Amino acid sequence: MQPTQPLPPLGAIWSAAATTFRLWATAPHRVQLVLGGRAAPLAMQPDPGLPGLWALDVPDIPEGTRYGYLLDGEGPYPDPCSRFQPDGVHALSAVVAPGRYRWSDDGWPGLTMDGLAIYELHIGAFTPAGTFAAAIERLDHLRDLGVTAIELMPVADFPGTRNWGYDGVALYAPARVYGTPDDLRRLVDAAHARGLGVILDVVYNHLGPDGNYLRLFSPDYFTDRYRTPWGDALNYDGSDSHATREYVLQNATMWIREYHIDGLRLDATHAIYDSSSRHIVAEIAARARAAADGRRIVVIAENETNDTRLIRPVADGGYGLDGVWADDFHHAVHTALTGENEGYYADYDGSPEAIAATVQGGFLYQGQPSPRTGRPRGTLVTDEPGTAFVFCLQNHDQIGNRAFGERLTALAPPDAVRAATALLLCAPETPLLFMGEEFAASAPFLYFTNHNPELGRLVTAGRRNEFSAFSQFRDPALRARIPDPQAVETFLRSKLDWHEAERNAGMLRLHRDLLALRHADPVLSRSGRAETRAAACGPQAVVVLRQTEDDVRLLLCNLGEAAPLTLETPWMMAIAMPLRILLSTADPAYRLPEEAAGTHMPASAVIDLHNFTLPARTALLLARAG
């Protein structure tokens, strides 16, 4: 019979008096602890009450001591719950003393979805140095930008020296190429000092293929009942799944407790398979909140099936999460801006009706058939708040999973991107920006790895072959031009050039102004999805009404050529009063240096919606005149 209570803490649990080494391993009959500087291994003691659990208390262990485990005499292997792998994921683990760090964030309240504006970044590509310490130097920029939280792509250690992080194998150990565990703590501490929360992307649907030693400790960590696109699924619902669940649950709580992380972004929850009475995703959220000990945290899911169960309360049969990535907005707007319609974009026509329905509904697909697959997609959105849906124009997936990693500003005119930015930041949903988006970064974000040569060759070939279904890459010679993930140049090209923040100051100014309005404007900061109406108002134009009891804001967003404004719905007719311009994305102050002058109506100009032509590729934020 499986244990039903949480297991005691796994890993090397340090204290000044003694370090407790605790391990779950059902495969070996004998487990020995190897300590750096000690000639003879020490026998681990099995727990008679919990078969598979081994433990040993060792006094006077200095922080940084290397250790590993012999399994029936083979090894030593790193600890599955190692807090640090200073010499790489194949080497010995290191003892870490998290309690020695002196935090300075006692007054930090944590995060909620209300008012949240997220900035996603990859530590290795965010700065030239690519470290936790170097990221601290850019926090003032992010505070001044107006975002309220940074979201770190996965930092769990991986093989080699560069990786997106989704091939992590040492889930408890911050990647040594980014710095030490205390360097990550300093980054979180420094963010809190500037009023910024920190969300961490975590991967609980699979582990990477290189450096994954879990099977040597127990075959029960994985299952062959399910299969993910990236490898074997973790065993969350089999007869011997309790330790796997604890492995993940303790990992989630570690980030909250030992690193003061303010939220988790759960990668690809649609590929986390669990038929248990309590889904592991719901349990992660509950255990993470308990670990926060009163501090507010958020738990956000990535989920391609548009499943509202994730964000419904547990009492209503949901999983109790705070938010979900809602990619329909990205796909609908991207299609409108670029005309791309292959792959998953085949489900989107880029019409203003589709964009408006997504803004008003959170999801576009709420159970209707997908044109691409013919199968129903999504679930019905009811009273879920707008803040529970995370919208973006760019993120690591949508840029990095393109063959050449192009950003949106390389695919669409800058004025159209500015108009779409206003739509993103004036919608009631939670916005997410991808690093460099705020200053129209030109660096691509490419897929990069640093696997061993044999695996690396397979990754390179697989990366290029996955694009063979796209018309532009059916020629093998064209696919050969796709950047090699294993090449160091692929990684270096993905790093931000921070000089562009000054060169493209106009785009940065637009983001700052829109985020300032989002936080301070009496309507944009208060009204939600229930108080929002959206509709098409031209061939490529959308109107979004945000309202409170006392006031209204109207966003006219035209992604195409100039066209007469059409007022077709009763609520649009009802607000067709003289309106003044609060912000125009055509303002010369927002242009890039290479752009020619265009049509611009100054702020405070009054317009009459009954006889108005929408300027080309422009968004106008309007308020009542007078």
CB 561 within 8 A of CB 599: no
Query: Which residues carry out catalysis?
Result: 267, 302
Strands 323-325 and 389-392: parallel
- The Cα–Cα gap between 351 and 340 comes to 13
Secondary structure (DSSP) of 313-372: -GGGTS---SEEE-HHHHHHHHHHHH---SGGGGG----HHHHHHHHHHS-S-SSPBPTT
Bridge partners for 431 per DSSP:
391
Tokens 């329909």 label which residue?
328
CB 110 within 8 A of CB 262: yes
- The Cα–Cα gap between 423 and 623 comes to 16
Would you call 200 exposed, middle or buried from its count of C-beta atoms within 10 A (0-12, 13-18, 19+)? buried
Q: How far is CA 412 from the centre of its chain?
A: 24
CB 333 within 8 A of CB 364: no
- The Cα–Cα gap between 249 and 283 comes to 8
Bridge partners for 553 per DSSP:
546
Nearest in space to 513 (alpha carbons), one of 619, 412, 599, 597: 619
Would you call 462 exposed, middle or buried from its count of C-beta atoms within 10 A (0-12, 13-18, 19+)? exposed
- The Cα–Cα gap between 558 and 542 comes to 6
- The Cα–Cα gap between 180 and 173 comes to 9
Nearest in space to 359 (alpha carbons), one of 300, 422, 423, 432: 423
Dihedral sign, CA of 304, 398, 496, 323?
negative
Query: At residue 364, what is the residue type?
Result: L
CB 49 within 8 A of CB 3: no
- The Cα–Cα gap between 58 and 64 comes to 14
216 contacts: CB under 8 Å, gap ≥ 6: 27, 28, 71, 74, 77
CB 417 within 8 A of CB 409: yes
Question: What is the H or E stretch that residue 140 is in?
Answer: helix 139-145
Quickly count: other Cβ atoms within 10 Å of residue 592's Cβ.
18
Both tokens assigned to 264: 């988790």
DSSP E strands, 50-125 = 53-59, 66-71, 74-77, 93-94, 118-121
Q: Which residues of 521-548 are buried (b: 16+ CB within 10 A; e: fewer)?
A: bebbeebebebbbbbbbbebbbbbbbbe
Tokens 């009475």 label which residue?
277
Q: How far apart are the first and last CA of the chain?
A: 72
Quickly count: other Cβ atoms within 10 Å of residue 367's Cβ.
12
